[in-house]
A and B are shown apart, each in its own frame.
Chain A
Amino acid sequence: MIGFIILVTFIGIVIVAFSAVIQKKLADSVILLMGVGLGSVVLFFIFKAPDVALTEAVIGSGISSLIFLMALKHLDEKV
């Protein structure tokens, strides 16, 4: 069962990461990158690294995505 969850999460991460690369709009890429972070939170937690999972959840999919979105907003105003 746990192996099945790991496999599904891993394949999901690869699919989401690949679709983040081929997106036309950069904002969509940032949202999909957040999904990659959430998937890796699940993997970190299953592989018994809750500290890293908490860090990834807060920094990887929380703050850094918001900083990316803020930077994109400023870029849209300039370009």
Chain B
Amino acid sequence: MSLKRDLPTSTMSGFALSGILVLTLLNILLQNMPNSIQTAGNELLKLNANEGVANAVTAVVVYFRGFDTLGEIAVLFIASLGLGLMLNSNTKCDIKAESNFMLQTASRLLFPIILLFGIYVMIYGHLSPGGGFQGGVIIASAVLLLLISHKEFEVPHAVIIALETFAGVSYVLIGLVGLLVLDTFLGNFLPHDISQMGLLLSGGIIPLIYIIVGIKVGSEMSMIAQNLIKRSNDV
């Protein structure tokens, strides 16, 4: 009954029509796909072995498409900046009620574990699934847990500014050193021998860049969470 009232027949038939159109398009695309597209991944995997990084996705994200990652970091920075401008958090806490006793105790227990897991995902990004983006957001979710459980907790502003500036500047500096040494921006100028593959210290600059990305994403997402939770009431 209520389903029919919420979604009239025209909407339902629109859904069904668009679904059939997408399926037809996918069918045509899959049948007319040239064979060369399907082997593009193999070429990248062959190139990946030169960099000495066990996780092929990390090699693509940080090395082959390193400049794109710099752009993504810039986009996230601009988003965080805009949110900070719109919702400045100089006034008092927005949450009125005291949080639950269970939440407070559990957050004290869970915060170091989540933080440690985030740092692990960040540092081992070139060996196992994960990396800077995921690790940074895990760290930010640990900070978010503290923010919703402890009313008086605030992310230290000076530390965030220092971390973010350090991360952004060092990303560009590593790229410029690669430009000087190897004539390519973000060139892998540190030793990255294939025999070292699978060790923690392998892959040259790739783990360094992923740790920098993790620091930047973590601090930016923490600031976004704090701005959303503790914003001034008169915006």
Contacts and interface: CB of A to CB of B under 8 A. Distances in A.
A66 interface: yes
A63 B138 CA distance: 9
A71 B83 CA distance: 12
Given A22-B3, A22-B7, A58 B131 contact: no
B18 to A, nearest CB: 14
Contacts, number: 45
Nearest to A21: B7
Interface residues of A, number: 16
Contact of B137 (A21, A53, A63): A63
B141 A53 contact: no
Given A22-B6, A51-B131, A63-B144, 14 more contacts: A51-B130, A55-B133, A55-B134, A58-B141, A59-B134, A62-B137, A63-B137, A63-B140, A63-B141, A63-B225, A66-B144, A67-B224, A71-B228, A74-B231
A15 to B, nearest CB: 13
Interface in B150-207: none
Interface of B: 2-3, 6-7, 55, 57-58, 121, 129-131, 133-134, 137-138, 140-141, 144, 221, 224-225, 228-229, 231
A62 to B, nearest CB: 6
A70 interface: yes
A18 to B, nearest CB: 9
Contacts of B221: 63
A58 B57 CA distance: 18
Q: Which of B57, B129, B224 has the most CB of A within 10 A?
A: B129
A47 to B, nearest CB: 13
Contact of B229 (A50, A54, A62, A70): A70
